[in-house]
């Protein structure tokens, strides 16, 4: 069973529509992240949350919002989708309590196309 799941895996929508991408994790981690991936640009951080009451903007948060409904769930919303938000979106988790580094575990991704 996957530790980090994302729904939907693929979505095609039209400009102006509201879209929600969902992420769930069974790893028991307190930290969760949303990234987008574009060709040649690597992974860019949209929002992150270090616990249920904590929400922080990443480097490209404009046009996005998030909700941390529970420790295990972190959703990303596009209030009014636009074509340049077409990308691959990844959710990730990490554990602040570990003695290791800040390794992040990624979900399988959501491919979003905005027409």
Beta bridge partners of 113: 12
**82: how many CB neighbours lie within 10 A of its CB?**
12
Shortest distance (Å) from residue 100 CB to another protein:
8
The span from the CA of 87 to the CA of 114, in Å, is 9
Shortest distance (Å) from residue 14 CB to another protein:
20
38 or 79: whose CB is closer to another protein? 38
Shortest distance (Å) from residue 107 CB to another protein:
5
Structure tokens at 64: 């996005």
75 or 110: whose CB is closer to another protein? 110
64 or 90: whose CB is closer to another protein? 90
46 or 78: whose CB is closer to another protein? 46
The answer to whether residues 74 and 66 touch, using CB atoms and an 8 Å cutoff, is yes
What backbone phi and psi angles, to 5 degrees, belong to 77?
-120, 140
Catalog residues that contact another protein under the rule CB under 8 A.
4, 33, 35, 37, 39-45, 48, 50, 58, 88, 90, 92, 100-109, 111
Shortest distance (Å) from residue 40 CB to another protein:
4
Give every strand in the sheet of 19-25, ordered side by side: 4-7, 19-25, 73-78, 65-70
């Amino acid at each position: 069973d996957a530790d980090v799941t994302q729904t939907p895996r693929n979505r095609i929508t039209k400009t102006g529509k509201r879209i929600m991408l969902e992420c769930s994790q069974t790893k028991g981690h307190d930290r969760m992240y949303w990234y987008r991936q574009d060709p040649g640009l690597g992974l860019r951080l949209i929002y992150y949350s270090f616990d249920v009451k904590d929400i922080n903007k990443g480097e490209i948060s404009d046009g996005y919002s998030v909700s941390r409904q529970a420790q295990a769930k972190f959703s990303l919303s596009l209030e009014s989708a636009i074509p340049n938000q077409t990308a691959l979106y990844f959710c990730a988790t990490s554990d602040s309590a570990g003695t290791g580094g800040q390794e992040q575990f990624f979900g399988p991704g959501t491919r979003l196309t905005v027409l």
